[in-house]
Structure 1
C-alpha cells in the first residue's frame, strides 16, 4: 500500500486528468436530466392461495398446485404473467376501453412489465412503466384480470384432460380384472385348493405323527440291538444262521453220538501222547480214528444244515438252556429286521409329506400373487371410476387459485428520472472515474517520479537532491567550486555519507541503472567538492565502455587504469594531477579486448586497496548496472555504493531490479542521489578537441589479448 506522500504525488501528477473526468460525468448527468422525458410506474398484486374451493378432491388438487416435479408454484405463475397467452387476453380486455388506441404491441408491454415475488409470501407484485399514467394503471389491471381468468381456464382444461384419459382407461381395467379372476380360479382347480390353511394344518399334523412313530421305532431298535448283542456274547454266535445250525446240531441223536465218540478219542489221544511220541503206532491209529469220526460228523451235519458250514463240537447247543437262548436270539433278530423295514416305510411316508409341505409355500406365493393381482385390478377399477366422477365435477366448476389482492391506481409522480439519484450516481461515477484515471496514470508511469518520491518508490534513503541545472564547460571546474549554490548539494551529500557511516568512509563506488543518468558528472563534482573538505581524493574512471572523466579534466587517456592492471604499473605512476589541488584522476587507459577481464582481475582489487591507503577518499565511476555487472564486482572492494537516479527518466522496475541484484551480491548500498543533470557527453566531446583527437589516434583495442593472460582471477 502506498504511503500518504506517494498518494499525494500521484494525485498531483494526474490532477487535471482526474478533474476533467469527474467534470465530464457531472455534465453528462445534467444533460440526461434535461433531455429524458418523465416515466410513470404503477403496481398491482396477485396472490396464489390454496383454499381448495372445489367440491371434488381432484378439483382441489388442481387448484392447489398446477405445477409438477420440484417447480415452485409461485415462480411458475410469475413466468406465466408475462407469457404471450396472458398478454393477449389482457389486450382483449383493454380493447373494450378508450385507451386501446394507445397500446402498440404485446412485445412492448412485455418489455416494460416487471414481475417480482414478494419474499416469504405467495404474492406477486406486477410493475409497469410508461409515459402515460392512466395507461399504466389500465394495463396492470387488465393483466391481473387476465391472469385470474387464465388460471381458472387452465384448471378446467386439466380436469377435462383427466376425464378423457380416465374414460379411455376404464374399459381396459375391466378386462384386466376379468383376466385376474380367471387366472386365480384356474390355479385353485388345477391344485385342488379349497383352503391352503386347512391343507397346511393337516399335513403338519400327519408329519408330526410320523415323526413320533419314527422316534418310537428308533427306541425299539436300540433296545433290540442291545439284547441281540448280549445274547451273541452268551451263545457265541455272530448271526442267525450259525445260531440255528448250533441248535439243530444239538438236538440230533446221531450227531450227539458222534460228538461223544470225538470227545472220547480226544481223551485217548491226550493220554497216548503222554506216554508215547507222535510217531508211535498207537498215537497214529487214534488220530486216524478221530479224523474218520470228524468226517462222518461233518457229513451228518450237512444233512441237517443245508448251508456249507462246519460247527465245532464245543459250539453245538446240546442242552436245553443253550437251545432256549438261541431261540430267543433268533426271535429277537427277526423282530429287529421287521422294525427296520417298518422304519423305512415310515421314513418314506415322512419324506413324501415333507415334499408336499415344501411345495405349499410355492403354491401359497403363486396363489397370493394371483389374489393380489385380482385385488389390485379391482381397486384400480374402483379408483378410476371415482376419479372419473371427480373430473366431471371439476370440469363443470370454474375454480382459480390466483386472486387479485391489490388493483393498480393511476400514479401521480414520475418514477424516472429522479434528479437526486441521478446526481448522486453521477457524482459517484465521476469519483470512480477520476480514481481510475489516477490509477491508470500511475500504471502507465514507469519512470521514477520527482525527488520527493524516490525514497518511497525504491525504498532507499536519498542522500542528495541535485536539482540545480549546471552549465559548466570542461576545464571550468574551478568555476563550479566558486559557486556556493552549486557546491552546497554535493557538500551536503558528503556530510550525509560521513554521518550515516560510523566507520571512516574511504571509498565510494558510484553507478546508475542505465546510461544517461549523470553518474559521471556526479562523480566529478563530488570528487571536486571533497578536496574542499581537506580530503586528498582519487577519482577512478572504471567505466571501460563509455569513459568520460578525461573529458572533464582535459586529460590524456594514458596512462590509466588498464595500464595499472594489465601492465602492472604502479598506481602513482599512472594517476594524473588536475588543476584542483588535492584531486588526482585515474583515467580508463584505453579500450581492452575483454574489459570484464580487467574488472575481475586480482590486480584491480589490489589497485583499489592501494588507493585507499594513499588517499583520504577514493571515488570509482563504473558502467551502468543494466548493461554490465562491473559495479557488483567492485562493490565488495569499497565501503559502499551510491546509486544515481534521474527523475522522469530512470525506469522504476529496472532501478528496483538493479538494487535487488546489488543486495543479493552482498553490496552495501549507501543510498541514492537524485540528479537532474545528464552527462554532457556530446558537449564534452565537441569542446575537447585534444581529447577527441587523442581518442581517434588511440586504437580502440590497444590492450592486446595476450596481456589478459597475465590476469589473476578470484572466485566471486
Structure 2
C-alpha cells in the first residue's frame, strides 16, 4: 500500500504545473530603474572618480585668458563685374555661404603665417588645449618649431563667433599671457582687413588687364565686320534709306505698287459713277449727285424744277407741266452726256491696271532673285551690331573697373579692438566639475546597462519561469552577517524573520505539489554555492516545527555539510551504511531540534554514484517512508556529477535551489535538461538569497512587513536601525 502511494505521487510529479510568463515586448521604465538601483554602487563610484579627475585636471591646468576683437562684415552692394566668366572670386549668392567663407578666411593658414611673421611669435606660442596640458604633465609635449606646427598651435587658440541677427563677428584668441592674447587678436583682425583690401585690388587689376585685352580684340572684330558689310553693299548696289535696305528693284516695286493702287481706286470710282448714272430707277437728285462737272448749273436746274413742281401741285396747268418736262429733259441730257464718256475712261483705266500688274510681276521676280543678297547683307549687318554691342559693354566695364580700382573700398570694418583681459577664461571649476559629474554619471549608467546586458544571471522571476517552464515555489530573501550554521537554523531560532516566513511559504507550496505524506524530496541546485544545503535544512526545520516527523539525509558524499550546520558529531553515516559497515540503528542521528533527525554523509567513498544507486539506498528510503512523515535529501549539484540524477530518480520530487544574481541562466537550463532526460519529477524552483533592497524584479517583497511584537525592546529597535544604516553604507 505504501508503495502504491509512492508510485501515484511519482507519476503525478512527472507533470508539474508550469507557469508560462509571456515575454514583455514593451519598454518597461521600472526595469530600467531597477537596473540603475542594482548597479548604483558602480554608477556612484564612476561618477566620483570622474569628478575627482575633473577636479585634479582643473587644479593642475594653467590659467587661460581670452581677448576679443569685433569686426563688421558687409556684403558688397555692387559688383565690379557682372559677367559670370569674369568673376574671379566667385559669386556667393547665399548669405550663409558668404559669411562662412569669411570665417574660414579668418582662420586660414595664410593669415596665421602672416600674423606669426609680423609679431615674431616663433618662440612665444603655446597651446591651451587639454590634450597638450596632459602631454606636458607627462613630459612628452614638444614646443612647436616647424611652420606648420606653429600655425596649428596658433589656430588652436583662435576662434570665430558670429553675433546672432547682426553682421558683427567676434574674433577670440586664447593665451596664458593676457597681453599676448590682446596683441594677437588685434593683429588678426587688422591683417584680415588688410588682406581683404589687397585681394580686392588684385582682383580689380586682373579684371582690368583682362578687359583691356578683351576690348582690343572686340574692336578689331567690329572693324572687320564693318568693312565686310561696306564692301558687300557696294558690290550689290544696296542702298540704305531710313535705316531700311533698298535696291533699284525694290524702289521700282514700291513705285509700281503706289501707281497700281491709284489706278484701282480711280477705276472703282468710275465704275461706281457709271452704275449710278445708268440706273434710271434711282432719284434724279442721286444721279445728279454722281456728276462731277457743271454741278452748280445742274443744281440750279434741279431747284427750278422743284419750284415748277410745287406750283403745278398748287395750280396744275399745261404750261407748267411743259416747263417741267423741258427741265427734266435738259437734266437727263447732261446725265447722258456724262454716262456716255465713262466707258472709254473705264477701259483706259483697266488697260493701265494690266500694264502695272505686268510691271509689278516682273519687279517681284527680280526682287526674289535679289533675296539672297538681302539675307547675306542682314547676316553681315547683325554681326556688326553684335560686335558693336559687345565692344560698348566691355568698354563700359573697363571704365568701371578703372574707377573701382582707384577707390579700393573695403567691406570689412574693425568695430572694437581687443582689450587686455582682466579675468581668466578657463579653467572654470564649476563648469568642469559639472561636466565631470555628468560624464561620470553617463559612463556609470552606460557601464551598468552594458553589464546588465552581458550578465545572464537570474534577475527576473518571470523570465526564470518562462525559460525553465517551472513555477517558483518560494523566494528566500538575502540575510547578511550570518554563518552557514546560523542560516541553516533561522527557521527555528528566528521564527518571526522573513527567512522563516519564506520557508513556511515553501512548505505550504510543497504540500500542494506532493498531496501526500511520507514523500521523499530531493533538494539540489545547478552549481555549487547556491544554498541547496541551507534550503534543505530550513525546509526540514519548517516541517519539524509544524509537528511532522522529518528525516534529513545528507547524500552529498563529495562535500557534506549538514553535520556541521546542525552541530551533530558523527563518525559514520550514509556512505558507511551503503557499504555495509553499519546498520540502521547506528545510522540515524538525533539533532537539537525536536521531530528532526539526520543521516550524516559519513566517510567519503571513492565512487558515490555507485553507492547511491545501490539497492541499499532504495531499501533505506522505503524504510524511512514507514517511520517519517517527510524525508528530505540534500544532494550534490546537477552539473558535472551523476549523483544528482540518481537521487532525483529515487525521490518523489525534486526541488531546485537557484541563487539570485549569481546563477547563470544557461546553468539552470542545462541542469533542467539533464534532470528531464533522467525522467526526474520536478516540483519547482526556489529563488534563494534575493537582495530585495537592490530593486530586483522578483515579484516578492518581505522587506517591508514585520511582526508586531509588544515585547520588542528599544535595544532591538536600535539594533534594526543600526543594521539598516550599515546596509545602506555598504550599498553606497
Q: TM (normalized to structure 2)?
A: 0.48
Report which structure shows greater RCO (CA 8 Å, sep ≥6): 2
Q: TM (normalized to structure 1)?
A: 0.49
Structure with max Cα Rg: 1
